[in-house]
Amino acid sequence: MFWKLCNLAAVPTTAPHVGQVPHPIMHLLQSLWQQLNLNGLIHNNGWLAWASLLLAIFCGFLLGKISAVILRRLAMRLEGGHWHVEALLLDGLAKPSKVAVFGVLLGVGFHQLTLDPALASLSYRVVYLLVDVAAFWYFFNIVSIAEHSLKRLLARHESNFTEQFVPLVRKSLRMFIFIIGSLYILENVFSQNIGAWLAGMGIAGLAISLAAQDSLKNLFGTLTIFLDRPFLVGHWINYQNYNGMVEAIGLRSTRLRLFDGSIVSIPNSDIVNHAVQNFTNRPYIRRTLNISLPYDTPAAKIRQAVQIVQDLCQQPDFKQHLTSPPPPDGRIPRVFFTELGATSLNLVVYYYFYFGPGTDWWAYLDFNQRFNLALFEAYENAGIEFAFPTQTLYLAGDPKRKLSIEMPQNSDDHSPPAPPPVSL
């Protein structure tokens, strides 16, 4: 098929008939044939030169694959011996080495051919392109060394900050290498004037910046979040009624995993301009517990009810979570008989649950449950009842609240005297 195309392209074209349009593919092939002189390339090189090129291509694929396997296995051994930086150096070289070895052997194969200046320049650029791509690919991969070193440097600081700061540095470095590599290849391989390109990009950049104001705002919002650190990855926050866990902080937006499982992406420019409530950073949470007693509770029982709550807060099982870590901040449990309500006598309890290692929101809920059960059992043993917002009708027959009924006696009436009062 290739030789048919060669012969077809080599046939000189005649002037087309009036109204006849040449086929675009044929026109492209003929133009390429004339520029590169492919007809001379075929006739000036024998089968030995073509076999040498084919052998070079085969060896390039084979040796590239072998070099990648050897480098990867050496990297695994070094990683097993805790030589992390050396392992990253070799592992990052594995894939680029395939491209580099293939490019070098392809250049050796091209050297076996007799090429005119145009084809020689093209073959040189192809080889140069492959080697340059392999080199910048390696630089792109070994950014992981900077990432590893930065993680070790920040290991003594907050892990959440490291998790969100290090990926940003890695992405920025790789983007920088990609841009530099692209500009280098355009100037040295494709002989483009990068200075003129950059000047044109400066003019176009003004128009792009005007059209991308929101993106720039989000970028500066990202920098503000990293510098001010209102929250980190893994923190539980509330923003504009969005309540959930921070999964990632990107260059444009912050991803928030809500408790119903859905993900919300919030632009960073909006976050820095509104209030954000961070629940993870709070050292404690205050609980207000209201206790209602019936109106017929004696004063002694009210004092006992207050004392029972105070004693519960001093029990070791509860006190360890209700005492601030040193230095003390004065936030201690407090119990008060606050008011005479419409239907009950009201006590109020304030205590602060301090978050320590291994404690979270669920630990706080479990603590409240245990405290409530202990309070209920203590009141039950002391004979103290809880009131509830209902109206009570006192009826005859209630053994706790007996009614005394007395019949009035009229002096003008000669009827027999009334019977004594009867308790019902």
The answer as to whether 139 is a domain residue is: yes
Average pLDDT over residues 10-31: 52
Choice between 69 and 114, residue whose per-residue pLDDT is larger = 69
* Kind plus residue range of the DSSP H or E element containing 131: helix 117-141
As to burial, measured by CB atoms within 10 angstroms (0-12 exposed, 13-18 middle, 19+ buried), residue 341 is middle
Give the Å distances, CA to CA, from 57 to 52, 129, 351: 9, 16, 77
The 3 state secondary structure assigned to 245-281 is EEEEECCCEEEEEECCCCEEEEEHHHHCCCCCEECCC
Instruction: Give the pLDDT confidence score for residue 288 in this predicted structure.
Output: 95
Would you state the torsion angle of the CA atoms of residues 237, 242, 247, 253, taken in this order, to the nearest 10 degrees?
A: -110
Q: Which SS3 state, helix, strand or coil, does residue 115 take?
A: coil
Same domain, 294 and 261: no
The answer as to whether 113 is a domain residue is: yes
Same domain, 286 and 269: no
CB 52 within 8 A of CB 109: yes
Range of the domain at 242: 228-278
With b for 16 or more beta-carbon neighbours within 10 A and e for fewer, the 265-296 pattern comes to ebbbbebbeeebebbbeeebeebebebebeee
The candidate with the shortest Cα–Cα distance to 241, out of 217, 274, 267, is 274
Number of domains in the chain: 3
**Residue 37 pLDDT grade (very low, low, confident, very high; cuts 50, 70, 90):** low
Same domain, 270 and 153: no
Instruction: Give the pLDDT confidence score for residue 30 in this predicted structure.
Output: 61
The candidate with the shortest Cα–Cα distance to 269, out of 231, 314, 224, is 224
Q: Looking at the predicted structure, is the pLDDT value of residue 10 above 60?
A: no
The pLDDT mean for the chain works out to 80
Half-sphere exposure of 243 (CA within 13 A, CB side): 4
Same domain, 105 and 198: yes
High-pLDDT (> 90) share of the chain, %:
30
Of 206-220, 248-262, 322-336, where does mean pLDDT reach its minimum?
206-220
Same domain, 58 and 100: yes
Question: Which two structure tokens, joined as six digits, stand for 314?
Answer: 């001093």
The answer as to whether 17 is a domain residue is: no
Average pLDDT over residues 24-53: 69
Q: Looking at the predicted structure, is the pLDDT value of residue 186 above 50?
A: yes
Choice between 201 and 287, residue whose per-residue pLDDT is larger = 287
- End-to-end CA separation in angstroms for the chain: 118
The answer as to whether 419 is a domain residue is: yes
List 239's β-bridge partners, or say none.
Answer: 242
Under DSSP, the state recorded for 342 is: S
Task: Report the distance separating Cα 191 and Cα 121, nearest Å.
Answer: 12
Report the interhelical angle of 159-188 vs 143-153 (nearest 10°).
160
The candidate with the shortest Cα–Cα distance to 30, out of 61, 58, 7, 60, is 7
pLDDT, one tens digit per residue, over 237-280 is 999 989 999 998 887 889 999 999 999 999 988 988 889 999 88
Q: Looking at the predicted structure, is the pLDDT value of residue 19 above 70?
A: no
The answer as to whether 350 is a domain residue is: yes
Same domain, 310 and 263: no
Same domain, 185 and 321: no
The answer as to whether 216 is a domain residue is: no
The candidate with the shortest Cα–Cα distance to 184, out of 142, 137, 123, is 137
| Polymer length in residues for the chain | 424
Output phi, psi for 336, to 5 deg: -140, 145
Q: Looking at the predicted structure, is the pLDDT value of residue 97 above 80?
A: yes
Query: Which domain CATH number covers 274?
Result: 2.30.30.60
The answer as to whether 221 is a domain residue is: no
- State the residue for tokens 């050297």: 111
Same domain, 410 and 323: yes
Task: Report the distance separating Cα 231 and Cα 243, nearest Å.
Answer: 13
Same domain, 97 and 144: yes
Q: Looking at the predicted structure, is the pLDDT value of residue 164 above 70?
A: no
Q: Looking at the predicted structure, is the pLDDT value of residue 375 above 70?
A: yes
Instruction: Give the pLDDT confidence score for residue 339 in this predicted structure.
Output: 92
Query: Which domain CATH number covers 417?
Result: 3.30.70.100
The candidate with the shortest Cα–Cα distance to 162, out of 224, 226, 84, is 226
Q: Residue 321: how many CB atoms within 10 A of its CB?
A: 19
Average pLDDT over residues 297-323: 93
**Residue 44 pLDDT grade (very low, low, confident, very high; cuts 50, 70, 90):** confident
pLDDT, one tens digit per residue, over 289-304 is 999 999 889 999 999 9
Same domain, 114 and 204: yes
Same domain, 33 and 180: yes
Same domain, 52 and 175: yes
Q: Residue 312: how many CB atoms within 10 A of its CB?
A: 20
**Residue 39 pLDDT grade (very low, low, confident, very high; cuts 50, 70, 90):** low
Give the Å distances, CA to CA, from 116 to 7, 23, 179: 20, 28, 34
The answer as to whether 217 is a domain residue is: no
Q: Looking at the predicted structure, is the pLDDT value of residue 416 above 60?
A: no
Instruction: Give the pLDDT confidence score for residue 21 in this predicted structure.
Output: 47
Of 60-64, 91-95, 412-416, where does mean pLDDT reach its minimum?
412-416
CB 181 within 8 A of CB 189: no
Q: Among the three residues 185, 211, 237, which one is the final residue of a domain in this structure?
A: 211
Average pLDDT over residues 190-204: 70
